[in-house]
Structure 1
Amino acid sequence: MSETTRALNEAQRRAVHELLRVSPVADELGHRFARAGHELHLVGGSVRDALLGRLGDDLDFTTDARPEETLRLIDGWAEAVWTTGQEFGTIGLARRGLRIEVTTFRADAYDRVSRNPIVRFGDNLADDLRRRDFAVNAMAVSVPGHEFTDPYGGLSDLAEGVLRTPGRPEDSFADDPLRMLRAARFVSKLGFAVAPEVLAAMTAMAPDLGRITAERVRDEFVKLMCGQDPIAGLRLLVDTRLAEQFLPELAGLKLEIDEHAQHKDVYEHTLIVVRNAIAHEKEGPDFTLRMAALMHDIGKPNTKAVGPDGGVSFHHHEIVGARLTKQRMKALKFPKDVISDVAELVALHLRFYGYGRGEWTDSAVRRYVTDAGPLLDRLHALTRSDVTTRNRRKAAQLAADYDALEERIARIAAEEDLARVRPDLDGNAIMELLGVPPGPIVGRAWRYLKELRLERGPLDPDEAIAELLKWAEAEGVTPPGSR
């Protein structure tokens, strides 16, 4: 028995085990369709994941029944039903903790101008499988019979860890260019490689990604970044020039030499930082942290300068990088709060350097914490991840410095509640003491007192009042008792 055959047999054994785990629901649904004279097959990613031993709680089925018939067959059996995809043949339902989608066989056609198919329902499983993106997603298991269908060698590809298309990759990607980005996402998620002919087609057809809306590209990219190995997916994007179509700054880092460690370029440094950031995650994939790690040095190409001694510098690249991050993520239609968080982390990622020289006062620590706000834990992770030097002594010193900073933050926080730094007088007290109504004067006084709080720490009430009155006199604001 060959190694491949043994791997296939083991994959099938795992698949049966996974199918049996959900078979009470899958088989019940299959019997309902069979009694009505219809086929029902577990299909696509559900079969692939079952073969990999990681079938989740989202199951995809395909059937020859039309959507209206599917709705009739699940009536009274499904615990919840949603029909948002009905015009595309998809009916969603929930049963015993499983989310299930049943889609009518499709035999779509594409205009090859947009990625939107001309939706046509099919009448057989073979045509439905032929239109799918990759062979590993073009397998099916019938229910309740559990008959396995694999017309394009998906099981073999699964055993070899390779992505191939059911037909010619050029035809598949011409139909839907988003499949090229999906290939990179599966590389990240599954740890697979792409077949040589798929790689060649992706490289040649990369500009076709321009037909895809920013939102679709964004969604695939987020899934790639949150995969188990986004580094492999990112390398594939750069190597095929797909990255140039929606994230050109990433490939642009390849030519820039990192001033911290000149044995590698900023591109390689960036990928290491992303990998380091993943190691610092505490509760699963954190897109905001990973994206900040990816974008933290994108300002370097625009700020590179070579000094008289040949040394390379990138002054203020964090500020330029934060601006470029906002622009790029806005173009990809990311939510405003996500853009703001990632850009802020990029802007702050260098703030720590200089702490080890003993220059930071308690005031500087307070500002560090206050500026980071709810991003402080992510900023800790990003700053530590940015240390990629091979100089062990230097790396150990930076780690020790940051340990000291975190300990100092914890001490000051325990004393002063740094998580909620506020002026020692609130807006109502300011208005009462100054005898002014709500308005700009109150805002300016509040900001002054907050800066004072950051600089000196908590003030007692008499000190705070005295400082407010001193500020008011300088600003020409006359309190009631002074008139």
Structure 2
Amino acid sequence: MSDLFHRVEPVADELGEVFAKRGHELALVGGPVRDVLLGRAGHDLDLTTDARPEQVLEIVRDWADAFWTIGIEFGTVGARKGDWQLEITTYRSEAYDPKSRKPEVRYGDTLDADLARRDFAVNAMAVRLPSHEFVDPHGGLRDLADRVLRTPGTPEQSFGDDPLRMLRAARFASQLGFTVDAAAIAAMRDMAERIEIVSAERIQAELDKLICGADPRAGLSLLVETGLANHVLPELPKLRLEIDEHHRHKDVYEHTLIVLEQAIAQEAAGPDRVLRWAALLHDVGKPKTRKNEEGGRVSFHHHEVVGAQLAKRRLSELKFPKEVVGDVARLVELHLRFHGYGEGEWTDSAVRRYVRDADHLLDRLHKLTRADCTTRNKRKAAALSRTYDQLEERIARLAEEEEIAKIRPELDGNEIQEILGIPPGPLVGRAYKFMMDIRMDEGMIGKDAARDRLVAWAAANG
């Protein structure tokens, strides 16, 4: 076992000896132990100790290159030593009061008791330092080999202590590709409503890790299957629209999961959270806009507009950063725009507007639009792909010709004020927009022509 931990031995053993000299226990625990055994160790170490937070702070103060106390109210002291980030937590147990969103932290005295309160057996393994004694009282090593998530005690007790663990099960299904024990799934289904006691920030962190995992479909499917999604992401199960024999449309829920997978397949450099969330939420406006039409058709007019509003509301309630909320909502709003391109009838002006409206999201919009094609008709899929290829080629050509991303009117604000003899104010903004429309629609027309058009517009508008 020691051979597996050779990378972390120097810093871990050194700190273990420091704690031992002060009469305290120290052990590597949880995720880092699991990840080392899976061959995917990083530079973050979780450690646990019988020392109280104030004692931990006193011990690491002189040893670490830096330390911080952000989590000290929950028994955690952070430290940095070289390239290693360490979190040292006092043995503890925690549980939720039924009326509180914050866990109540109680300190413990033994490593075994600390491991018993952890979320899953694969995270309840430890290595004592500096002796390297492997501690696995709940069969985590066996579960690791079986790739299964099982709680150390009963699932009801574990999820009752911290309901967020139910979301963590779905997150690990996505990140690690593990299946969840049947008893845990049953408890998740029975206790799903309990998740509402957890703060939006903690829920957001788990959902974001889930969506950025290797297999988000697995985690999302588990959320829907257990009913947890009804409480944390209700737009997702609502996509399972009833399909009857008279009114035909795609299975929107299944379509959404495929779009997410196809978007992921286009990522070039690791998970793109904005693209993934946009793919997941791109059709959330369909349930509200569904309408049965003559001939057995089903329409979803303006679902992209409604969907953008719903996406913005959901991500805001989950406390995502404003820029993420805005970018995802904008992609949802724009995801159907390409379908107006038809057989390439758009003018250069329309192509410029497409690029301008997408702005910094253009590359993501390309990927989302391509991912949104899930038809089984190979001929139709090939035609859509060719058409989008043509659009991208036109965008590239226009960008080369005009540096499209830097397009500005031929007359700036100061020139507009000088020509019209007006002071700064809303009128200058209206005139600037008029000149921008000319620039977008007609390209470069020359300063003299631009001046004449501005004067004519001013006269026509009083």
TM-score when normalising by structure 1: 0.92
1:192-245: CA deviation from partner (whole Å, max 9, x where unpaired): 110000000001111111111222211111111111111110000100011010
State the shift of 1:108 in Å: 3.5
Alignment match, 1:69: 55
Work out whether 1:107 is the aligned partner of 2:93.
Answer: yes
State the shift of 1:405 in Å: 0.5
Q: 1:40 to 1:446 in 2, by over 3 A?
A: same
Work out whether 1:119 is the aligned partner of 2:105.
Answer: yes
Contact 1:424 1:453 (C-alpha < 8 Å) held by counterparts: yes
1:281-317: CA deviation from partner (whole Å, max 9, x where unpaired): 1121111100100111111111112222111221111
- The amino acid of 1:312's aligned partner reads V
State the shift of 1:375 in Å: 0.4
SS in 1 for 2:312: helix
Pick from 77, 82, 86 the counterpart of residue 68 of structure 2. Answer: 82
After superposition, where does 1:378-393 map in structure 2 within 5 Å? 378-393=364-379
Alignment match, 1:171: 157
- The amino acid of 1:155's aligned partner reads L
Q: Distance in 2 between matches of 1:82 and 1:283?
A: 31
Pick from 28, 46, 69 the counterpart of residue 42 of structure 1. Answer: 28
- The amino acid of 1:275's aligned partner reads E
Work out whether 1:183 is the aligned partner of 2:149.
Answer: no
Pick from 375, 378, 385 the counterpart of residue 399 of structure 1. Answer: 385
Alignment match, 2:255: 269
Contact 2:27 2:127 (C-alpha < 8 Å) held by counterparts: yes
Pick from 105, 109, 117 the counterpart of residue 131 of structure 1. Answer: 117
SS in 2 for 1:359: coil
- The amino acid of 1:401's aligned partner reads T
Q: Distance in 2 between matches of 1:396 and 1:18?
A: 49
Work out whether 1:454 is the aligned partner of 2:440.
Answer: yes
Alignment match, 2:198: 212
SS in 2 for 1:120: strand
- The amino acid of 2:160's aligned partner reads A
Q: 1:45 to 1:469 in 2, by over 3 A?
A: same
Contact 1:115 1:176 (C-alpha < 8 Å) held by counterparts: no
- The amino acid of 1:62's aligned partner reads T
Alignment match, 2:363: 377
Q: 1:194 to 1:292 in 2, by over 3 A?
A: same
Alignment match, 1:296: 282
SS in 2 for 1:293: helix
Q: Distance in 1 between matches of 2:359 and 2:201?
A: 29
- Aligned length in residues: 460
State the shift of 1:407 in Å: 0.6
Q: Greater CA deviation, 294-303 or 324-333? A: 324-333
SS in 2 for 1:352: helix
Q: Distance in 2 between matches of 1:125 and 1:325?
A: 44
SS in 1 for 2:48: strand
Alignment match, 1:354: 340
Pick from 416, 424, 444 the counterpart of residue 430 of structure 2. Answer: 444
Contact 1:214 1:332 (C-alpha < 8 Å) held by counterparts: yes
SS in 1 for 2:47: strand
SS in 2 for 1:453: helix
TM-score when normalising by structure 2: 0.97
Q: 1:301 to 1:263 in 2, by over 3 A?
A: closer
- The amino acid of 1:436's aligned partner reads I
- The amino acid of 2:50's aligned partner reads D
Q: 1:107 to 1:317 in 2, by over 3 A?
A: closer
- The amino acid of 2:446's aligned partner reads D
- The amino acid of 2:128's aligned partner reads S
1:37-91: CA deviation from partner (whole Å, max 9, x where unpaired): 2111000111111111111111000011122222232232210111122232211
1:146-171: CA deviation from partner (whole Å, max 9, x where unpaired): 11001111111111111111111111
After superposition, where does 1:204-283 map in structure 2 within 5 Å? 204-255=190-241, 264-283=250-269
Contact 1:33 1:73 (C-alpha < 8 Å) held by counterparts: yes
Q: Distance in 2 between matches of 1:38 and 1:199?
A: 38
SS in 2 for 1:237: helix
What RMSD in Å do the two structures reach over aligned CA positions? 1.6
Pick from 450, 454, 458 the counterpart of residue 468 of structure 1. Answer: 454
Contact 1:92 1:101 (C-alpha < 8 Å) held by counterparts: yes
Q: 1:115 to 1:139 in 2, by over 3 A?
A: farther
